[in-house]
Amino acid sequence: MVTAGIARSNGFALHALTINYNQRHAVELQAAAQIAAALGAVRHIVLPLDLRRFGGSALTDDIAVPKQGVGEGIPITYVPARNTIFLSVALGWAEALGARDIFIGINALDYSGYPDCRPNFLHAFETMANLATKAGVEGDRFTIHAPLLQMSKADIAREAARLCLDAGQSWSCYDPTAEGLHCGLCDSCRLRSKGFHEAGLPDPTRYAAAPAS
């Protein structure tokens, strides 16, 4: 949401892509549709791509989502090659659209356990994009933008406020309750709550349990 808000504020028309990869936290699909409408996206495509067929992650397999707090190393919520897959699909749509700027909302600073949320991954993907496409080899180059990459979660919360975005529309939780609440205990909930707290902003999120630090 914040990435799209930044893109819009910089004069870009928004073409929003959501991947329905049969993730555990499918409620985020509803949030994505609401946000795309609120931001005035020209088009919002929800593309089915069932990564549950592969498994290998607590988000796409029958593996419990960790609730004990943010740890070291690559967590079990890592989905194999997810951002590479997402960016590849976005690249295909961008080339078909004639768009050359691709925005992705990854963040490395507060939580750098995921290998596909690092600056060197983005640089490598951008190089590949310009080697692997008709547009790229003809000199009409693609740029991959990740404006949140080096922001803290508090910075991101402040940016949402600066852009007058309704942060309550966004979704973070990996393991939502049947009632559609953030669980409050997964890594993503803990980091989200911490961000609002450190930013000195009210947290509009509805949690089933109060997040711990």
- pLDDT tens-digit profile of 130-173? 999 999 999 999 999 999 999 999 999 999 999 999 999 999 99
User: What are the sequence ranges of the domains in the chain?
Assistant: 2-199
Q: Which residues on neighbouring strands pair with residue 20, listed in sequence order?
A: 48
Q: With contact defined as beta carbons under 8 Å apart, do 113 and 73 qualify?
A: yes
Model pLDDT for residues 82-122, shown as the tens digit of each residue: 999 999 999 999 999 999 999 999 998 755 578 999 999 99
The CATH H-level superfamily of 2-199 is: HUPs (3.40.50.620)
The pTM assigned to this predicted structure is: 0.93
Query: How many angstroms separate the CA atoms of 83 and 53, rounded?
Result: 17
Tokens 């975005």, residue located: 165
- Taking CA atoms, 64 is separated from 68, 76, 114, 151, 210, in Å, by 11, 9, 18, 29, 19
Model pLDDT for residues 8-45, shown as the tens digit of each residue: 999 999 999 999 999 988 899 999 999 999 999 999 99
| pLDDT band per the 50, 70, 90 thresholds, residue 68 | confident
